[in-house]
Structure 1
Amino acid sequence: MNVLINRAIQCFLRDVWGMGVWCDVARAAGLSPRGFEPLLDYPADLTHHLLAAASVRLNRGRDDLLEDLGTYLVSHPSRAAVRRLLRFGGISFHDFLQSLEDLPARARLALPELALPDLRLEHPAADLFRLSIAPGFIGAGPVALGLLRAMADDYGALVLLEPEGMDTDGAAVLTIRLLDATHGEGRAFVLGAL
């Protein structure tokens, strides 16, 4: 699974910050600028080295980079397949939130080697949601924040997202307040084939 994460970081750095930044980060992390081969195994700590090198090179915090990665996974044209997988969660942002617990299983259908952490959604009030992310996927909280912000924009919803807690083992709890489900015009999306 770590090759998928590392490859996503590589594509994010290359697509958003440019090939020069990716090459600098790769060298600092002890990698070839060619990047990751999909069928090879890489040490688990390589992801940490990659993020540390990117943080230094871009003078940005690790969590800020991970949040930007979450946004990139939804909003960048090269990641249209991720957006499409997420948009199958429903026709509104509210529906999308309600489908989050099913996301790890849906992702495994598309990428069997991707083991996303378990997600649990609570809905304590009409406009309030609490998303709990199980441990095991370091950086899942910041990535989820970026992804949720991008998905809210994609649906045209106005939301307030706040981390309640993020542990070093990857566990996180995020509060999602849906302020206006139809705040703006969302991006076009067709569930069925044309």
Structure 2
Amino acid sequence: MMMHGLILWIFEAFVRLTYGDQVWEKVLTDLDLHVQSVEPMFHYDVQIALSILRQLSIEQRRDRNSLLEDFGTFLVTDPRVERVRRLLRFGGVEYTDFLHSLEDLKGRAHLAVPDLTLPDILVDEVSPHVFEVTCENSPKGVPYVLLGALRALADDYGSLAYLDVMSEREHSVVISVSLLERQHAEGREFLWATDGAS
């Protein structure tokens, strides 16, 4: 399975900005990859990405899934990747609207980057304000990136939500989202129109 270099390139930015350039360079050196940086327009074997994640986990003495959750949070909260947040926030004006729009995320991303492949996402509102988000056909660990992004976006919308991985199988992970308060706090400002600076 191949991964778009754009994803790995943003992950490189996450590692460099969170842990420092030396950590990223040491991870690549320890893996003997003979590269210093990722090319965002290339495609990489997903095993390379998994090897980098595994080595970073060893280097930082962190669980891989928690690292991926942090990466998902980074995608929403760091202003240097504001375009990712905008892509997600265009799903709706409230957090519940956004959750319902997740099934369309793959198509929206494809419009922005035609050769970018995202996992299939299914959303089921099992009871009022309780959702099950199923992430299918994705490389191992990717649903934890989604989990981190969903948590960060609840804060972004000003909502109070409890999220947890409900079940995990080889090709499918179900995330439970319980919306406790729709408007718990003031959300981050989001402008539907942009001046082109972000």
With normalisation by structure 2, the TM-score equals: 0.92
User: Bigger CA drift: 30-39 or 55-64?
Assistant: 30-39
1:22-41 residue pairs with structure 2 within 5 A? 22-32=24-34, 34-41=36-43
User: Bigger CA drift: 91-100 or 133-142?
Assistant: 133-142
CA distance in 2 between partners of 1:109 and 1:61 (Å): 33
Q: Deviations over 1:122-165 (max 9, x none)?
A: 01111100001112332122111100011001001100001012
SS in 1 for 2:116: coil
CA distance in 1 between partners of 2:43 and 2:103 (Å): 29
User: Bigger CA drift: 43-52 or 95-104?
Assistant: 43-52
Question: 1:16 matched to which residue of 2?
Answer: 18
SS in 2 for 1:99: helix
CA distance in 2 between partners of 1:65 and 1:188 (Å): 27
SS in 2 for 1:49: helix
Q: Which amino acid is the alignment partner of residue 47 of structure 1?
A: A
Question: 2:94 matched to which residue of 1?
Answer: 92
Contact in 2 for aligned 1:10/1:22 (Cα 8 Å):
yes
CA distance in 1 between partners of 2:125 and 2:152 (Å): 21
Question: 2:160 matched to which residue of 1?
Answer: 158
Q: Which amino acid is the alignment partner of residue 184 of structure 1?
A: A
1:3-82 residue pairs with structure 2 within 5 A? 3-32=5-34, 34-82=36-84
SS in 1 for 2:36: coil
Alignment of 1:115 onto 2:117: yes
Q: Deviations over 1:66-122 (max 9, x none)?
A: 111110111111110000111101111111111111000001111112111111100
Q: Which has the higher strand share?
A: 2
Question: 1:182 matched to which residue of 2?
Answer: 183
User: Bigger CA drift: 27-36 or 43-52?
Assistant: 27-36
Give the unaligned 5+ runs of structure 1: none
Contact in 1 for aligned 2:4/2:42 (Cα 8 Å):
no
CA distance in 1 between partners of 2:4 and 2:47 (Å): 9
SS in 2 for 1:179: strand
SS in 2 for 1:71: helix
Contact in 1 for aligned 2:161/2:181 (Cα 8 Å):
yes
Contact in 1 for aligned 2:57/2:63 (Cα 8 Å):
yes
Q: CA deviation at 1:44?
A: 2.7
Contact in 1 for aligned 2:6/2:39 (Cα 8 Å):
no
CA distance in 1 between partners of 2:31 and 2:6 (Å): 17
SS in 2 for 1:120: strand
Give the unaligned 5+ runs of structure 2: none
